[in-house]
Amino acid sequence: MRRFVVAASGLLLVFAGAACNRGTGEPVVGLITKTDTNPFFVTMKVGAQSAAATAGVDLQTFAGKVDGDNEAQVLAIENLISFGAVGFMITPNDSKAIVPAIDRAHEAGMLVIALDTPVEPAEAADATFATDNYEAGRLIGQWAKAKFATEGKDARIAMLDLNANQVSVDVQRDQGFLEGFGIDVADKGRIGDESDPRIAGHDVTDGNEEGGRTAMENLLQKDPSINLVYTINEPAAAGAYQALKAAGREREVTIVSVDGGCPGVDNVAGGVIGATSMQFPIKMAELGVAAIAEYAKTGVKPQNTAGKDFVDTGVQLITDQPQAGVEAKDSAWGKQNCWG
């Protein structure tokens, strides 16, 4: 009853709008993002809105309050089922806990596409449109390994992850980075089970600047000799840099990240971030909307990229410090192709 009241009171205007648009024959399509504050998801929403206008579908959007907010995403799916939506895209906050709600959507005949973050198991969704997050991590790991080898430095590594849920995108980027750097990751499906002494520690950031600053402060207290910082995304990287600057260590430490947002590319150009792996959220959303619109017309579901269990939307390493054997584009190219 409580959840029904929340849905009825908090989403009344959305509900009315959806019913009106269904009356004109436009298929209802949902977009459920992790939050509505992270620039990555804001950009994804803009891309989805543009694609929806082109495809002639009625886009309804929802978001969790913070990273990790599964309950809000479950409620969004329940409302989309009530709307009679033909399908939805979701960036899951909890890849496992969201699956029962997705199962209910399938029972209602909906097409479900995971964006950016796969659900677990991946086949619980009809398709996943995403960056190869393991590859994104591997690229920045390879770059950092080459840089430290060229400079003749031994690494002391801080790992700034997302949260305690071990969501798939978090695990894949973390483990990809470590593998790229040449570290035995033990179980690729789990963060923190490595025994390599070069790892100073892991902490969580919630994917935002404040969390990045706090996590970096915590790890610096544990090991002041840290000289390489992996971050789950560029807002966390910006926070880590502020903590390093406050400690007078910013010139001695290399930061790597994943995202490719315009502020992050600016930080590459400014020397705050050494290298970042750019992903393409607009492309994810555009392809997702197009796939659901096609499903509404023909019943045909999207097909995976050859040789992969998802639709790969691409990744590109961005750095102004090129390393031998590691393909990359510079920040000028990054500025022409960034988002947010």
DSSP 113-155: EEESS--SSGGGSSEEEE--HHHHHHHHHHHHHHHHHHHT---
Best CA proximity match to 74, nearest among 12, 30, 121: 30
pLDDT score for 24: 55
pLDDT score for 7: 40
Alpha carbon 131 to chain centroid distance?
8
pLDDT score for 6: 38
* pLDDT averages per 10-residue partition of the chain, 340 residues: 37 35 76 91 95 97 92 98 98 95 98 94 96 96 98 98 90 97 96 97 96 98 98 97 98 97 97 97 96 97 94 97 97 95
Tokens 């033909």, residue located: 86
Counted residue by residue, the chain has a size of: 340
Confirm if 260 and 283 have CB atoms less than 8 A apart. no
pLDDT score for 23: 53
Q: What DSSP string describes 62-108?
A: EE-SSTT-HHHHHHHHHHHHHHT-SEEEE--SSTTTTHHHHHHHHHT
pLDDT score for 142: 98
C-alpha distance from residue 322 to each of 40, 142, 143, 268, 316 (Å): 26, 11, 8, 12, 13
pLDDT score for 297: 96
Query: pTM of the prediction?
Result: 0.80
Angle between helix 2-10 and helix 70-83 axes, rounded to 10 deg: 70
Here the tokens at position 137 are: 């991590």
Alpha carbon 166 to chain centroid distance?
13
pLDDT score for 67: 83
